[in-house]
A = this chain, B = another copy of it.
Amino acid sequence: MQPDEFRRIGHEVIDWIADYRERLGDLPVRSRVEPGWVRSQLSALPERGEGFDGLLADLDRVVVPGTTHWQHPGFYAYFPSNASLPSVLGDLLSSGLGVQGMLWSTSPACTEVEQHLMDELVGAMGLPESFVGGGVIQDTASSAALVAMLAALHRKSGKWRRSGVDGDETVYVSSQTHSSIERAARMAGLGEEAVRSIGVSPEALSMDVAELARQVQSDVDNGRRPVLVCATIGTTGTGAVDPVREIAEVCARHGIWLHVDAAWAGPAALCPEQRHLFDGLELADSFCANAHKWMLTAFDLSLFWTAHPDVLVDALTILPEYLRNSATESGAVVDYRDWQIPLGRRFRALKLWSVLRWYGLEGVRAHLRGHVELAGLLESWVAADENWELVVPRSLSLVTIAHRAGDDATREAMDTVNAEGSAFLTHTVVNGRFAIRVAIGAEATREHHVRVMWDALRAV
């Protein structure tokens, strides 16, 4: 494809996306296709090249019906994943440039724009000074958790790189921590038995620090080596916030790496009125917040900071001959390949840069505050309803609710609304009770959308 063809077809693709985003709200949020239907509609790979029209036609005919529309204003499932249109353009520029930024020298701008943004965000989010110079973009919070764990293992034992894990390492989560931490422990070779699941307070569902302290002490007494605690600011299930400062004190006593997972809630740190949720963060060793969840940036872009980039790099670095270069050897540059699981890397910073410049910090804060406000409205409606109740207190823009008549009524309401098509809700289980998670966070969601969804739930 020559640049001139790209110009013409590129405009058509842009228009296709604009059209899709315009009509999005009229589509059912969830795809209604049966397993196998999409495949049944696809042709064999063509021997000879074809134009782009066939692909666009297949998008309309097969892909759109086979898609669950994450950008739909009625998407309240999981946590919404914003792909704002400025971020789409930033990502397009990244693909268009086609650079691969594994080393500083393989594209200095790819590294330095990222360093700049990560350091600027430390200030804008009120993060601790210890994170300056320690920021890097990961693909997801799962990968961020894994690199934190590898750095923690390396710091704990001078021989981890040489001889691996010992089998006496332990890792601490709460019963509400995201499953990616346990999965990271498995990938790191620790096994599930190394993961201690600490209980939570029955109301707030936040980690029981006394139990954590007891478990750590007991493990130490039994010759185990506590390596990492994961505290969460905004759990996936209900948005619970662990007491980071108190957890950090336990970690400090035992030389344990404290990773703070704020994959969803992290961007809220841009709003000064939410900073109290991040109390104690200056005591953390690493921190993660997904720009691709609530910060208007197309998947995938997870913000990760560590106070110990030297440890992280030392844990992950390897330098074969074919990657040697004078810039790296000068020690004057950062090579981000040593900060992540893969070797190669996209110029992801461009999509984040596009978002932060288009909306401004003010615009991103307005986006966050708008959702918190809508969630507050929903909370008040639920509180005033005789059949429904909040299962846990609202957390930012996440409202977790259940029907007073029991699990069957809650599940039936959710299934009915999901089948109807104007909204998509997912569930969790809180203290044994089935509950609907209303995660408000799509860019296009407005009060009338939330109202329609709430009325539909009540009508069941």
Contact = CB atoms under 8 A, between A and B. Distances in A.
Main secondary structure of the interface of A (DSSP, over half): helix
A23 to B, nearest CB: 9
Interface stretch (A96-104, A205-213, A216-224): A96-104
A22 interface: yes
Interface string A310-335: 00000010111111110100101100
B191 A163 contact: yes
A342 B17 contact: no
A189 to B, nearest CB: 2
Interface in A395-444: 426-429, 437
A196 to B, nearest CB: 14
Interface stretch (A80-88, A245-253, A254-262, A446-454): A80-88
A93 B56 CA distance: 9
Interface stretch (A110-118, A272-280, A369-377, A386-394): A110-118
B361 A47 contact: yes
A140 interface: yes
Given A68-B105, A98-B299, A360 B48 contact: yes
A351 to B, nearest CB: 8
A91 interface: yes
Contact of A4 (B18, B59, B117, B320): B18
Interface string A36-59: 111100101111111110110001
A362 B183 CA distance: 42
A394 B363 CA distance: 55
A325 B47 CA distance: 39
Interface string A65-97: 111111100000010011111111111110111
A179 B344 CA distance: 13
Contacts of A426: 322, 325
Interface residues on A, range: 35 or more
B357 A3 contact: no
Interface string A183-200: 100111111111000000
Interface in A281-315: 292, 298-300
A62 interface: yes
A357 B92 contact: no
Given A46-B357, A98-B298, A361-B46, A62 B162 contact: no
B3 A21 contact: yes
A165 B187 CA distance: 10
A120 B16 contact: no
A381 interface: no
A110 B67 CA distance: 7
Contact of A358 (B1, B140, B163, B193): B1
A163 B117 CA distance: 40
B318 A42 contact: no
A63 interface: yes
Interface in A150-168: 150, 153, 159-167
Contacts of A165: 164-165, 167, 189, 191
Nearest to A349: B63
Interface string A129-160: 00000000001111100100010010000011
A204 interface: no
B38 A112 contact: yes
Contacts of A360: 45-50
A242 interface: no
A11 interface: yes
Given A116-B39, A160-B191, A66 B100 contact: no
B68 A95 contact: no
Given A13-B14, A35-B327, A42-B112, 6 more contacts: A1-B358, A7-B15, A35-B333, A47-B362, A70-B98, A87-B95
Q: Give the 7 A-B CB pairs with smallest separation, nearest first.
A: A189-B189, A83-B98, A164-B191, A66-B109, A17-B96, A10-B14, A38-B112
29 contacts: A10-B11, A10-B14, A10-B85, A13-B89, A16-B96, A17-B97, A35-B327, A42-B112, A45-B361, A46-B357, A63-B97, A67-B97, A67-B109, A68-B107, A69-B99, A71-B97, A78-B322, A83-B96, A91-B95, A98-B299, A146-B187, A161-B191, A162-B193, A164-B165, A165-B165, A182-B318, A187-B187, A237-B321, A322-B428
